[in-house]
Amino acid sequence: MKYKIYLSPPHMSGREMKYIEEAFDSNWIAPVGPNIDAFEEELCQYTGSRHALSVSSGTAALHLALLALGVGPEDIVLCQSLTFVATANPIMYVGATPVFIDSESVTWNMCPNALEDAIRHYLSIGKKPKAVIVVHLYGMPAMLREILYLCKKYEIYLIEDAAEALGSEYQGRKAGTFGDIGILSFNGNKIITTSGGGAMLSDNVKYIERARFLATQAREPVLHYEHQTVGYNYRMSNICAGIGRGQLEVVDERVRQRRANFQFYSGHLDKLQEINFQKEPIGVFSNRWLTALKISKSPTYQKSANNILNELNKNRIESRSIWKPMHLQPLYCEHKYFGNNISKELFEKGICLPSGTTLWEADIDYICNIIASNLR
């Protein structure tokens, strides 16, 4: 391969410059300005959320979400184990205790049965969990009907980590709009980017107002600088919001391209008995941010997922293991975990393939040939 194939590089539309130039021409460079207001409004129009807050990262959005819901020291937060560490770290920021929940084998997201086991356990010892953080892994919506039922039944807040799932849908409704709060990421590798950045979504204006206050250093509404609580420098810049506006104009096209990548991969590799893809249940629409698969053992299986990852890397193809679960991370291995180690198996046997929207079919064909040759 003469050029490197990246996992998920940014893809500029060309429409971003209009909004960036407007920001420069009007001198709106700081983290206030018309692009921010417009971007938040356009996010609401696209997702169907009543309110949105643009911030500096998806991690900041999660931190603010926990604070807006009043999560703090001694609280229990039930968190999906199979995710990036940024899902769990904000729980520690607020002094709460993360408890990790295993995946189910269909969407690879939070297992409702393991979730209820955890809830019942903590209720039995008089420690009702304060919140649940569910993740839509690689853009695939979790089993929201069951998880929403449990959160409502036990009166526990639900936060949706939809960092990877902009454009995904569950029962015809956009991911990130089902919980009390949803968060998005616009990091450089996401389906659209603002360079860095994120957003918080909610139908509850009080959560958004509280988060907006905390994200601007918790400055009181008086003429001088008055502060009564700890705040954060979490607002998105007007420049980055301009990039986001240009990107948001092509988000549906980017989703179609990611889904086309998945169809091309699955069309080539589905015939191999060793390979299983992340499934899309009836009523679910995934943006297929990353095409992810699991290598299963068979009578002819010899090489591990790591062997394939190494072979791809030798050929200048960036790929990744599926996330190492939080309950197996040195940082969190002492924390309580509920489940049957489905997430551990996915980590050991899973691969994320290049899924960018600038991929050529010839690139995917080349990648598939390498994978197939290493399974013979």
**Within 13 A of 251's CA, how many CA atoms are on the CB side?**
25
User: Do 338 and 261 have their domain in common?
Assistant: yes
pLDDT, average across residues 226-251? 97
- Domain finish residue from 248, 275, 304: 248
The band of 1, judged by pLDDT with boundaries at 50, 70 and 90, is low
Q: What is the pLDDT of residue 300?
A: 44
pLDDT digits (tens, 9 = 90+) for 67-103: 999 999 999 999 999 999 999 999 999 999 999 999 9
Beta sheet of 275-277, edge-to-edge order: 275-277, 291-295, 350-353, 320-321
Is the predicted pLDDT of residue 2 greater than 90, yes or no? no
- Tally of domains in the chain: 2
In angstroms, what CA-CA distances link 148 with 134, 158, 178? Answer: 10, 8, 8
270 and 349 in a single domain? The answer is yes
Domain identity same for 143 and 213: yes
Exposure class string for 323-342: b at 16+ Cβ within 10 A, else e: bbbbbbeeebeebbbbbebb
Q: Which of 238, 183, 164 is nearest to 68 (CA)?
A: 183
Instruction: Verify that 227 and 286 share a domain, yes or no.
Output: no
User: Is the domain of 275 the same as that of 308?
Assistant: yes
Judged against a pLDDT cut of 80, whether residue 30 lies above it is answered with no
Question: Measured between alpha carbons, how far is 353 from 250 in angstroms, rounded to an integer?
Answer: 23
Query: Are both 225 and 258 inside the same structural domain?
Result: no
The pLDDT-based confidence of 374 (bands split at 50, 70, 90) is confident
CA gap 4, 317 in Å, rounded: 6
Is 201 in the same domain as 294?
no
Last residue of a domain, one of 224, 248, 272: 248
CA 16 vs CA 12, 21, 172: distances in Å: 7, 9, 29
Neighbours of 1 (CB within 10 A): 13
Average pLDDT rounded to a whole number, residues 341-367? 96
Per-residue model confidence (pLDDT) at position 302: 42
334 pLDDT more than 90: yes
313: domain range? 251-373
* Domain CATH number, residue 64: 3.40.640.10
The pLDDT of residue 299 is 46
pLDDT, average across residues 1-22: 93
Separation of alpha carbons 153 and 202, rounded Å? 20
Average pLDDT over residues 148-168: 98
Say whether both 199 and 303 belong to one domain: no
Q: Are residues 88 and 153 in the same domain?
A: yes
Task: Tell the residue number behind the tokens 């509404």, with chain if given.
Answer: 221
Q: What is the mean pLDDT of the chain?
A: 95
Q: In 3-state terms, what secondary structure has residue 357?
A: coil
Q: Which residues are bridge partners to 124 per DSSP?
A: none
Q: Where does a domain end: 248, 274, 298?
A: 248
In a domain, 71, yes or no: yes
256-308 residue pLDDT tens: 999 999 999 999 998 888 899 999 999 999 999 999 999 986 544 445 788 89
Assess whether 55 and 202 both reside in one domain: yes
Task: Report if residue 6 sits inside a domain.
Answer: no
